[in-house]
Amino acid sequence: MNDILLFPFCIMAVAGAAYAGFARDPYAKLIGMGIIGGAVMPLIIIRGYMDVAAALAVIIPLSTVFILQIFRKGAP
C-alpha cells in the first residue's frame, strides 16, 4: 500500500516545485509551496518520522503567515 501512494505524492511534490519555480506572483509561489508541503508530509509519515511530521505541521503554517506578512500589499 505504501509503494502505491509513494509515486503520486512524489509527482505532486515535483509539480508544486515546478509551479513555484515558474510563478511570478508571490501569492502563486505561496500556493506552490503549499502543494509541496502537502505532498511531502505523507512521504515523511510513510517513512515513520512522526516527530519530523509534527514539527513540520507547526512550521509550515507559521512560515506561511510570515511570508504573507512580508509580501502584503501596501507594505512600505
How much is the average pLDDT of 4-33?
88
For residues 42-59, average pLDDT: 90
68 or 52, greater pLDDT: 52
Gap between the Cα atoms of 39 and 58, Å rounded: 16
DSSP label of 49: -
Q: For position 1, what pLDDT does the model report?
A: 60
Does position 15 have pLDDT exceeding 90, yes or no? yes
Average pLDDT over the chain, rounded to an integer: 85
CA distance 39 to 11: 9
> Which residue stretches of 1-76 are H helix?
2-22, 26-47, 50-70
